[in-house]
Structure 1
């Protein structure tokens, strides 16, 4: 029995107006007050507390670490900058609808930052109250990075596409990692832990809510491109009941970008639920880590700001931890480590900190179809198929929804592309912030790769690109990423299992470890890598 298999066994034990009002990126402002219906949250971490392990962030990597450490008998405290999404708004729902974003929707913005910002020349963004909402549109030079804010991190706001990269491409993703143990042990473990399931192809072929995807499949196949079904963490059994009208709608009610109220198996329902059930994991929401410094006894002092729901600091705490796991997401972890190295708080971090950051090659576009190719008035907000032209053209394109509630005759795509450009985070002492040197022009390889698919489809179908979704006469959504990766790259900024060089007891366990691209949606790879790393760390460090 291999060591990986032994560890696996051990772990198992322990109209135009209608469109404007309805598109998936559009809001109808209506600030909702929050009620106090939920049970009181546990007391947050106290000033002066000592914890064996502090995990910074509650996304995929942090949730894996917390669960496995707890199962190994270690007490863990997690701190999360965002809110605990457990209290309904005045509409009786925890999460806002994608068609009608409100005060819950954006992280500390006074104006929305819609991924699709325009329609037919009309700008769609509107003023909103400043609030610690669920979606952060963080602006850097040349790019906006979309991130989930709240307990559960990015699992709260993504489309659920749970894609394991093809094995033959893995060497280009994480070259220092043994592909055999990943595909034999850790990818299967991650998929099981995340609750990944597959759509019934026969139901896909007949249900109204995937008409848009069937149009995308037809157009892809007519141009010679393979269409592949993609697993998801949305419960397809629940979605079938939605379509039958027997349960409250969620995916069929355009819920995705600002959270999902029913069928989606976010981390709240999987890893985090299991972690809490151990009785060894506590979570403090609305807590932001600002500093980590060495302390006596081979421990670390962690400075934490407690926030209110308008982003103000209501308390500053100093906590001592034996070990600290950085799991604040690629951007959050990278920014914090760059600051700590530059300011001398953690002076022994090496020069690789902040480097190797990429956008997973994200670029979006839309196509205007003919009237004989309607895409449907009811569209599931959970995509479940893609066009794979990676080997020939360097692009994998999700056939994405536009769940407007009306017929748009439009096909929409989020492409993941082979883009070699990598950016670096650096400390700007004068402005007291971390900058990223990404350039919008670096998206051109992504556009070129996506064009290998959509130029051919447009030529075959006699269709054109939409030019009204991202600005005036702008075809490509080249201003953003949903998939930030890198900044503390495995086997460079860390050793080959995420231990930070120069400071024993500090670890990176999130997407910051992955150098910029996974060829597909990244969260399954982030989860599997975290499973691999925490296995080794528990075996050798605890």
Structure 2
């Protein structure tokens, strides 16, 4: 640890160093002040960013799942593409020789333009453990609205940089509620398989799962689920399972087994940088400008669209403003980013003819978290892989699917931790606030209650069966539920409402939405495979009919 690490007043009788080591977890619970960035040798020069006055055939705003699919397929169809990314490239090691900081010791690389960490799990033993950090364009954005904090990845690769890689295809019987205007036969016959192949999805070896120390926590989760009669399922992931086996054997550098997840994964995880974006760049037709933020899109006098872009420094300051022209623009800034941008453009007159559905239908995928305190005879293991691989499915009976999540503190906690996805019916709306010059979201904190009730259909029963209780020290002082956040923002530019049935903004030919904002609030499971598959469907149609 660096000399400028702030003191932490841990529980009496526990040393400062021991408290930090014992409570650092997957969710960044030991947020330490990091060193400010410095120059280092060996960095390759970055490609030149987009130039002021440039004209491009296709501009993609965002480099997450939808944008990466669009860029690859457009390039393969012979279209030159420029991608605009608000976050950093994440292709250059820091002073410690690693691109991403460790989750147990977040530094300047951890959060997007915050001076204090805001970890999803920010208490331990009832003590608040967020700490000060230098302001920097870090990898995880904890964007705060009135009733909810939305966690989003910032950088080339978007959410793929910071999620657990759980690559889940919804059950066929649930799909009609997810995307009612989309042909399920096509999705399950063509586009889900295409997405899973493109993402590099695989499933853990069940025999290795049963024997490895790093998934003892998940085996305890399985035992408790099955003893209470709940279906337990292995969940596909985009982690390289062969690499993880080598981590466990001690033959490669540890990544998942070193707790790396929330602030990036240095080895093993197949993020978009290694899959769709790598293929897109290999075409020679795709360029990416990191640390660029789109602030306006409007029809250009000579055809196409004038796009105003701010270039950012690593402390968030605007270093240049550029205007470029694009024949076609694909909005892929994520559910929140795309929705906010479209709402602002409609309200301020840049794109006044966008329809009134823009900004509506936003949901949190029913996210809610909790922990359970197990008995001493059910240890969950000091070594825990940060990559979850299994879940408890009570969707049909109780409206909840619970990811059995790790708590890799490095010590035995006797705790089981869960992220639940629930069938929460509430939907919020983004709207322009002229007084503040910002976009608001009208989500209400009380709207999380249905998610809690649905999650309780699993965990009340398990606790009753096992004679266990909920942990109350992880989200506040005697607070059971992590009901203040979402990792899975969805909606705001809903398919076949704000757009046509393929993501076209029909009032403006050449403008498209191709990300999670198209999905109305819930996917019944982790959403990124559905976002990817829908983007594959939509871009195939757009290329065939519009180009």
In the TM superposition, 1:190-339 aligns within 5 A as 190-339=195-344
User: Are 1:77 and 2:82 matched, yes or no?
Assistant: yes
C-alpha separation between the residues in 1 aligned to 2:290 and 2:515?
Answer: 19
Once the two structures are superposed, residues 227-261 of structure 1 have per-residue CA deviations (whole angstroms, 9 ceiling, x without a partner) of 10000000001000100111100000000000000
Deviation at 1:447, TM superposition (A): 0.1
Distance 1:317 1:384, change over 3 A: same
Deviation at 1:29, TM superposition (A): 2.6
In structure 2, the residue matched to 1:406 is: 411
In structure 2, the residue matched to 1:22 is: 24
C-alpha separation between the residues in 2 aligned to 1:203 and 1:150?
Answer: 33
- Contact 1:241/1:247 (<8 A) preserved: yes
In structure 2, the residue matched to 1:436 is: 441
In structure 2, the residue matched to 1:11 is: none
C-alpha separation between the residues in 2 aligned to 1:386 and 1:444?
Answer: 21
User: Are 1:377 and 2:379 matched, yes or no?
Assistant: no
Deviation at 1:32, TM superposition (A): 5.0
In structure 1, the residue matched to 2:4 is: none
C-alpha separation between the residues in 1 aligned to 2:132 and 2:160?
Answer: 26
User: Are 1:90 and 2:90 matched, yes or no?
Assistant: no
Length, aligned pairs only: 528
- Contact 2:36/2:134 (<8 A) preserved: no
Residue number among 337, 341, 349 corresponding to 1:344 in the alignment: 349
Q: Which runs of 5+ in 1 are unaligned?
A: 1-14
In structure 2, the residue matched to 1:460 is: 465
- Contact 1:291/1:345 (<8 A) preserved: yes
C-alpha separation between the residues in 2 aligned to 1:473 and 1:21?
Answer: 17
Q: Which runs of 5+ in 2 are unaligned?
A: 1-13
Deviation at 1:38, TM superposition (A): 2.3
In structure 1, the residue matched to 2:146 is: 141
In structure 1, the residue matched to 2:8 is: none
Q: What TM-score results when the alignment is normalised by the length of structure 2? A: 0.96
Task: Give the ranges of 4+ consecutive aligned residues of structure 1 lying more than 6 Å apart after TM superposition.
Answer: none
- Contact 1:350/1:501 (<8 A) preserved: no
Deviation at 1:37, TM superposition (A): 2.4
The RMSD of aligned alpha carbons is 0.9
Deviation at 1:224, TM superposition (A): 0.3
C-alpha separation between the residues in 2 aligned to 1:157 and 1:32?
Answer: 21
C-alpha separation between the residues in 2 aligned to 1:350 and 1:505?
Answer: 16
Tell me, what secondary structure is at the counterpart of 1:142?
Answer: coil
In structure 2, the residue matched to 1:485 is: 490
Once the two structures are superposed, residues 485-535 of structure 1 have per-residue CA deviations (whole angstroms, 9 ceiling, x without a partner) of 000000000000000131110000000000000000000000000000000
Once the two structures are superposed, residues 249-281 of structure 1 have per-residue CA deviations (whole angstroms, 9 ceiling, x without a partner) of 000000000000010000000000000000000
In structure 2, the residue matched to 1:10 is: none
Q: What TM-score results when the alignment is normalised by the length of structure 1? A: 0.96
Once the two structures are superposed, residues 398-439 of structure 1 have per-residue CA deviations (whole angstroms, 9 ceiling, x without a partner) of 000001111000000000000000000000011000000000
Once the two structures are superposed, residues 10-46 of structure 1 have per-residue CA deviations (whole angstroms, 9 ceiling, x without a partner) of xxxxx77156542222223322534252211110000
C-alpha separation between the residues in 2 aligned to 1:526 and 1:267?
Answer: 13
In structure 2, the residue matched to 1:6 is: none
